[in-house]
Chain A
Amino acid sequence: MRIRIKKPGLLSTIQDAGRIKFLAQAVPISGALDQLLSGIANKLLGNADNDAVIEFTYGGILFTTETDCLIALVGLGAFFKANEIKIPLNRPVFIPKGTQVFIENNTQGSHSYLAVAGGWNVPEVLGSKSTFLTASFGGFEGRQLQENDVPSSNEQLSLTSQIILAQLQGEKINYTMWSVPPKQFLTNTANTIRVILGREFEWFDESAIADFLTKPYQLTANCNRMGYHLDGPVLNRKNSHQQELLSTAVAPGIIQVTGSGALILLMADCQTTGGYPRIAKVAEVDMPLCAQLKPGDLLNFEPISMEQAEILYLNQEKDLRKLNHAIQFKFNII
């Protein structure tokens, strides 16, 4: 299966579940910003969870199918049109060769994910297919997708993928009546982002802590795959904690406070180490909400315990594993 990119949109990259083995050499984790949506896109087609997907930023994307394709587009606001017919999201879709596909976006989200049966075929670099733009490796030739690129899928399909294809393929566009809305896996829908308190939380003075936990912050236009700069109350440190922090490991989701008291939320391509105090970390289960924020969006932070965060995460993983069975059940595979 093969598509030709006609309009790549703002930033389209190939991503997977991430590159976790080389952090000690300062190779970031990368991977899809919204692991929930990219994971669902793969599951809808019977792919492995770490198969490569295309991450789109906003809309304005146009591609044509150069072969028959079995694909899934998962997004919160995005929708796609094939030969001017609107196709619903969040389900397996068969699209015949020679179809023009537009991906548009409404106001609900910022990143959507396109999976193909078998996964997009790009070489593994350091154990992952994710694109890391800063060092120009991984994904599609280490760069964002451009006009006339022709990403293709792996030819080897899982048994589930083969059965889904056999049931949907034909002369015309075809898709299932059922869908998997990603929101059912979120335990939070408001822009109240749950956080675990960070190691340096106590470095901040009382009014800073009160501001952080009660006042809204706004995503600025200074946001990319490495990090989101947030606008809001400046957080001052206690007089007793003005020292420099020696650089230490950081991870996506950590909220750093810069020397001037501004917040940076670290995202998938963040550095592996950092020297700014870590006031908090966004709960893993709420990272998909952050990945869909747009500049201007407001968010609040609410503290939860490490135990709660871990239980929420493990439960979400359990629900997602059940989804594999549910999809196989839909296609009478089990």
Chain B
Amino acid sequence: MAHNHTKFLIYPISEKAVSIEFGQKIEAEIMKRISNLNRLILENPFIGLDCTVPAYTTLTLFYNPVKVISDKNLSGKFCFDKVSNYLSQMAQTNDNSIEKPKDIINIPVCYDEQFGLDLDELSILHQVPKEKIIKLHSSAIYTVFMIGFVPGFAYLGGMPELLASPRKLTPRKFIPAGSVGIAGQQTGIYPLETPGGWQIIGKTPLTLFDVNREQPSLLKAGDSVKFNPISLANFQSYHEDKD
């Protein structure tokens, strides 16, 4: 059932979805491989491919079995064979040497205490002044590992080690949309008001997810991101512009 290869493993997760897995560790090389393979597949889709879902070490293809079973271009008896064979072939064709130049997406963040609900707590935890936390957080270039949890929620890797922080013992019932948080070695932005256990350090005035945009999510897996600190006055002017 599973296709084994030295570099990857392919297995179904449903009658309508097959995953390819490259190891079980977060690694820049793996992220790049997944991102390239994803692009290759989206440029060369098979009939019945509904969408792809990139994650840390996996790429999952969702498909319509009724269309796939009658696709003569794919070899195999069952849909998951057909999709697995396609995926295996694509993974071996995937040339990982291609480096697509990436623009850095700048995200303004206001680290004012009215938004940075946990800045004081983190300052005590890490025994550094708040300003240092803000400086470290806004100096790194992050990579979007994956979009998950709720629409448009980007898990960002590449945070300075010193900022790594445990989740809150009791999650908050409501975290305002736009809040920037830290959990473990990752940072992320809450696109919607949801419950959440991440340590909140600031807030962006940008809309992370909007169904009316062609690409509703501001960020997608593989993007590079940098946070730019803005003042409270500047933050408020964003909202005035919008109104």
Give me the interface of A with B, judged by CB distance under 8 Å: 20-28, 125-126, 134-135, 137, 196, 198-199, 243, 246-251, 253-254, 271-273, 278, 281, 283-284, 305-307, 309-310, 313-314, 317
Contacts and interface: CB of A to CB of B under 8 A. Distances in A.
B13 A25 contact: no
Contact of A272 (B12, B16, B69, B148): B148
Nearest to B63: A20
B59 to A, nearest CB: 8
B148 to A, nearest CB: 3
B117 to A, nearest CB: 22
Contacts of A314: 65-66, 69
A251 B16 contact: yes
Query: Which of B14, B17, B69, B217 is most buried by chain A, counting CB atoms within 10 A of its CB?
Result: B14
Contacts of A25: 147, 151-152, 209, 215-217, 220
Contacts of B96: none
Interface string B171-213: 0000000000000000000001010000000000000010100
A26 B60 CA distance: 13
Nearest to A18: B50
Nearest to A27: B151
A24 B59 CA distance: 10
A25 B210 CA distance: 11
B181 to A, nearest CB: 16
Interface residues of B, number: 48
Contacts, number: 129
Given A135-B151, A199-B11, A310-B78, A248 B69 contact: no
Contacts of B74: none
A243 B23 CA distance: 14
18 contacts: A20-B51, A23-B51, A26-B153, A246-B26, A246-B55, A246-B56, A248-B21, A249-B19, A249-B53, A251-B16, A251-B17, A272-B53, A281-B13, A284-B14, A284-B16, A310-B15, A310-B78, A317-B66
Nearest to B21: A248
B194 A134 contact: yes
Given A25-B215, A247-B55, A135 B14 contact: no
Nearest to B25: A246
Contacts of B153: 26
A246 B185 CA distance: 13
Given A125-B211, A307-B78, A248 B12 contact: no
Contacts of B142: none
Interface of B: 1, 11-17, 19, 21, 24-26, 50-58, 60, 62, 65-66, 69, 78-80, 146-153, 155, 192, 194, 209, 211, 215-217, 220-221
> A-B pairs with the 4 shortest C-beta distances?
A273-B148, A249-B60, A25-B217, A249-B53
Given A22-B51, A313-B15, A126 B211 contact: yes
B148 A271 contact: yes
A86 to B, nearest CB: 37
Contact of B57 (A248, A305, A317): A248
Given A126-B216, A306-B78, A26 B12 contact: no
Given A20-B51, A248-B55, A284-B16, A26 B147 contact: yes
A135 B216 CA distance: 12
B51 A26 contact: no
Nearest to B221: A24
A247 B148 contact: yes
Given A20-B51, A24-B54, A25-B209, A249 B13 contact: yes
B13 A199 contact: yes
B43 to A, nearest CB: 15
Nearest to B9: A199
